[in-house]
Structure 1
Amino acid sequence: MGMREEIQAEMAEAFDDPDGLADAVKPVEGVRKIPGEYDPDLGGETPETTVTYMGRGVLGSYLSKEIDGSLIQTTDKKLLALQNELFVSEGGAPTAMLASPVIGDTINGLRVMNVSADPADATWTAQLRK
């Protein structure tokens, strides 16, 4: 088992542990709107496709020393999610295809402002804003 799988297994265990993070873990639903191609048959409209992904994660706040009022605001939230637990959703059911959040997505009603991965590519950290 590589470092990535080890970290993900330990984090998943902590997410499930009632004495660990289980009470802080919340369902996560992300939505990405992808603009379509110009379609003259639709009167020149560009229909968009909506991709939905789901998983679970821990939502928290930023430390006061991280808040600069510009890039990170006091109302911003920080989401920590396991990369191997975010799946594209079709009809409300997860598929086998993994998803990665991107800037501009909406997660649990909040807009994704920034996304980063840890060095082992085991977790996503997303900055969310109203």
Structure 2
Amino acid sequence: MGMREEIQADLAEAFDDPDGLADAVLPVAGARSIKGGYDPAIGGTVPASTLYYTGRGVFGSYLAKEIDGSRVQTQDVKLLVLQNELFEGQADAVTAIPAEPKIGDLISGFRTLNVSEDPAKATWTVQLRK
């Protein structure tokens, strides 16, 4: 088992553990608008659509030393999501297409301002703002 899988397994266990993070873990629902346009492959226009994705994560706040008043504001929310639990639609892990949050997405009623991943590519850290 590689480092990524170990981190994801340990975090998933902490997410499920009633003595761990289980009381802080919440469902995450994201949506991204995809503009329509001309598609030469089909010889016509493709209508606009919306991509939905779901998972679970831990919503938190930024430390005082991280808040600079412009890029990170006091009301911003930090979301930690396991990459292996974020999927398009309501699918399960067997048939699902992995999802990646993007700047501009709406996640659980917040607008996405920044998305980063840890060096092992196991989690997404998402900056959200109302």
Same-fold call, TM cutoff 0.5:
yes
Residue 3 of structure 2 corresponds to 3
3-state SS in 1 of match to 2:8: helix
Pairing 1:55-74 to 2, within 5 Å after superposition: 55-74=55-74
Residue 125 of structure 1 corresponds to 125
Code of the residue aligned with 1:25 in structure 2: it is V
Residue 50 of structure 1 corresponds to 50
Task: Output the TM-score relative to the length of structure 2.
Answer: 0.90
2:77 pairs with 1:77: yes
The structural deviation recorded for 1:103 is 0.3
- Range moving further from structure 2, 93-102 or 57-66: 93-102
Deviations 1:9-53 (CA, angstroms, capped at 9, x unpaired): 0000000000000000000000000110059xxxxx984210000
Deviations 1:70-101 (CA, angstroms, capped at 9, x unpaired): 00011100000000000000xx4455100010
Question: How far apart, in 2, do the equivalents of 1:115 and 1:47 lie?
Answer: 27
Residue 42 of structure 2 corresponds to none
Moved over 3 A (4+): 92-95
Residue 111 of structure 2 corresponds to 111
Q: Which runs of 5+ in 1 are unaligned?
A: 40-44
3-state SS in 2 of match to 1:97: coil
3-state SS in 2 of match to 1:69: coil
Code of the residue aligned with 2:127 in structure 1: it is Q
Deviations 1:99-124 (CA, angstroms, capped at 9, x unpaired): 01010001001000000000000000
Q: Which runs of 5+ in 2 are unaligned?
A: 40-44
- % identical equivalent positions: 69
- Range moving further from structure 2, 45-54 or 115-124: 45-54
Paired residues in the alignment total 123
